[in-house]
Structure 1
């Protein structure tokens, strides 16, 4: 196998590992939010799906409509937090994947092969 092929395979393995890490980390995202009055706590997963709901003593003093609204608002707040966490993770993943894509490949004679789009970006900047 040529060293260029080895470079391509090494990059692909790093990309695979990064993708697996992203997948594993995204599965661990959770967020729990408690209402200011401590009547409701809601927990969601990384997709914003409700995984837990707790009602505190103040919940007994709320009428059904107010309690329902508070539950929905609290769950939505938890979903926003989870979405922010996922967004941060996705940004990190995207940056790392881009760095892997930009990394030059090395041939057996030591010459460097740059990815095509990297060359195009450099040419575009030069015309700029």
Structure 2
């Protein structure tokens, strides 16, 4: 590549790297807390749906261990679904932005452009 195309390509690569880093940072920052209907169980998960917090109210134990376990699992699943939905949304936006970036023509130093073939 000559006439500044290499510099334009390197600039595009930098933009792609920055976009990937931003996606990574956004996904890492996802935190979701869900609470069951009677507000006795709250579960927090990260962007990978790993449980990062559990809060049990005084009434959480009233129906025994099996019910408590079910409440925790159900609430954790609800939080994980929300986290997955947020991550899916971020990935869709990322794919759109990356597609626009990839379709943008490369600029030569003389101001003309080059459209890479697909």
TM-score between both structures, scaled by the size of structure 1: 0.86
Work out which structure has the larger RCO, using CA pairs closer than 8 Å and 6 or more positions apart in sequence: 2
Distance 2:63 2:50 in 1: 25
The 3-state SS of whatever aligns with 1:53 is strand
Deviates more, 1:107-116 or 1:79-88: 107-116
Q: State the Cα distance separating 1:39 from its structure 2 match.
A: 1.2
> Equivalences for 1:1-128 in 2 at 5 Å?
2-117=3-118
Q: State the Cα distance separating 1:6 from its structure 2 match.
A: 1.1
Distance 1:72 1:107 in 2: 57
Aligned residue pairs: how many?
117
Q: State the Cα distance separating 1:108 from its structure 2 match.
A: 3.0
Distance 1:2 1:31 in 2: 49
Tell me if the contact between 2:3 and 2:110 (Cα under 8 Å) persists in the aligned partners.
no
- What CA deviation, in whole Å up to 9, does each residue of 1:4-51 have, x standing for no partner? 111101111111111111111111001100000111000000000000
The 3-state SS of whatever aligns with 1:96 is helix
In the alignment, structure 2 segments of 5+ residues that lack a partner are none
Tell me if the contact between 2:46 and 2:52 (Cα under 8 Å) persists in the aligned partners.
yes
Give the number of the structure whose residues are more often helix, by fraction: 1
- What CA deviation, in whole Å up to 9, does each residue of 1:33-92 have, x standing for no partner? 000011100000000000001101220212111111110000000000000110111111
TM-score between both structures, scaled by the size of structure 2: 0.93
